[in-house]
Structure 1
Amino acid sequence: MCVVALAYRVHPDWPIILIGNRDEFHARPAAPLHAWDDGSGIVAGRDLQAGGTWLGVHTQSGRAVVVTNVRGAMPDPAKDSRGAIVTDLLSGQGRFADPAAADLDRFNAFNLFAVGSHGPRRFTNRPRPQISSLAPGVHALANEPVDRPCPRAERLRAALAAVAAAGGDPEGLLDTLTAEGSPALFLMGEVYGTRASTLIAVATDGRARMVERRYEAGGRPGGTTALDFRIGE
């Protein structure tokens, strides 16, 4: 996931909205959005190469997590998979279920939003490891270090802020993620590009809706999954 925005306690009906695009090599295998059958309570897509995920929800607790990579940082195969921290934060189990800032350098470069019992937080290890609490509002991340301005992130943040302030349907933002514009949110490529556009919306009464639109090489549509469930059931 390389550009993502979070609205927390802004929309009158949906206090949690996460939306973003996952950019990745098209050859990297992944399973579509689904409820995992391992007893973890996670609803997410799954990286079939490393076993983790990039974005998901925990159905019992309502925890929601999304991660981006950081471009320009050379990956180190000796480091832990970024998907592992997402999975542990979502499930509330494992070594990284409640990580300290010192743990973040165990992973290749990343930015991450997590919403849970601590409220919304931002995790990053670029330009340095840090965990920051976020106030209610609209926040955005992309594949840039958090101390640099990013036009892609700001474009998505502004679009989400407008919908949230107006009390509009957050699902319409999926069209924003594929619309042409400058800066571009959707990356077309035969080798690398946007693989999925995903929405998470959690309502005040605990209803949750997740929608994933998938794309193949060259931006060709690859299918859509929409799931509705209730947190805690």
Structure 2
Amino acid sequence: MCVVALAHQVHSDWPLILIGNRDEFHGRPSAGLAVWENGGGIVAGRDLQAGGTWLGVHAPSGRIIVVTNVRGAAPDPAKESRGALVVDMLRGTGRFADPAASDLDRFNAFNLFAVGDGGARLLTNRPEPLIASLAPGVHALANEPVNQPCPRAERLRTALEAVVDARSDPEGLLDTLTAEGDPALFIRGDVYGTRASTLVAVAADGSVKMIERRYEAGGRSIGTTALEFRIG
């Protein structure tokens, strides 16, 4: 994901709302949102090049993880996969199921929201490795270091905050992700651009609404997947 916002424990009907756009090269192969076969309860899209994911829900535990890259140096192919970090954290097993701050520089630059196991956290390795608890509220990330202002993240955070304040249905935020505006949340590129818009909304009773809209080069729509399931 390259811009994402999280509302944690502040909407009376939806204690968790996660919304964001994944920006990526159109030539990088990926699979759409689905329940993973032999995935132990993971519901996510899948990066078919590296095998991980950028955003997922682990239905048995209720863990939800989303990662963004961070602008800067060119990726080092010798580093660990950020998508694999997401999968380990979702499953709660593997080398990086519960990473320490000292593990974070083993990955190329990233920001990450992790929700579950009783709270919400921010993990990042830019400008330096950090694992921090998140208070209830509305938070946003994009592909900038967390100590730098980001207009894209602020625009999406403001839109999500308005939904929280109005106690309205979060599904309309999917249209916000493709709406024109400055700064742009949606990238309509032929080589690189927005590949997916995703909403995860968890109700107070543990029911989940998860919707993914997918796009090809030029921002043309190529399909939508909407799933409903329960966590915990």
Q: Do the structures match in fold with TM over 0.5?
A: yes
Q: Which amino acid aligns with 2:223?
A: G
Aligned to 2:137: 137
Deviation (angstroms), 1:230: 1.0
**Quick one: distance in 2 between partners of 1:150 and 1:123?**
17
Q: What are the within-5 Å matches in structure 2 for residues 96-115 of structure 1?
A: 96-115=96-115
Residue 168 in 1 paired to residue 182 in 2? no
Query: What pairs with 1:1-233 in structure 2 (closer than 5 Å)?
Result: 1-232=1-232
What SS does the corresponding residue of 2:95 show, helix, strand or coil? coil
Measure how far apart 1:137 and its partner are: 0.1
CA distance in 2, matches of 1:55, 1:220: 21
User: For 1:63-120, what per-residue CA distance to the aligned partner results, in whole angstroms no more than 9, with x for missing partners?
Assistant: 1000000012210000011001100111111111100000000100000000011411
Q: Secondary structure at the match of 1:120?
A: strand
SS of 1:94's partner is coil
Cα distance in 2 between the residues matched to 1:118 and 1:167: 23
3-state SS in 2 of match to 1:145? coil
Structure 2 unpaired stretches of 5+: none
Q: Give structure 1 stretches of 5+ with no counterpart.
A: none
Q: Which amino acid aligns with 1:189?
A: G
* Aligned mates of 2:68, 2:97 — CA distance in 1: 18
Q: How far, CA to CA, are the matches of 2:219 and 2:33 in structure 1?
A: 18
CA distance in 1 between partners of 2:207 and 2:118 (Å): 20
Q: Distance in 2 between matches of 1:74 and 1:19?
A: 27
One-letter code of the match for 2:80? D
Deviation at 1:125, TM superposition (A): 0.3
Secondary structure (helix, strand or coil) at the match of 2:190 reads: coil
TM-score by length of structure 2 reads: 0.99
Greater alpha carbon shift after TM alignment, 41-50 vs 67-76: 67-76
What is the total number of aligned residue pairs between the two structures? 232
Spell out, residue by residue over 1:110-135, the C-alpha distance to the aligned partner (whole angstroms, 9 max, x if none): 00000011411000000000001000
Identity of paired residues, percent? 77
**How far off its partner does 1:39 sit?**
3.8
The DSSP-based 3-state class of the residue aligned with 2:97 is coil
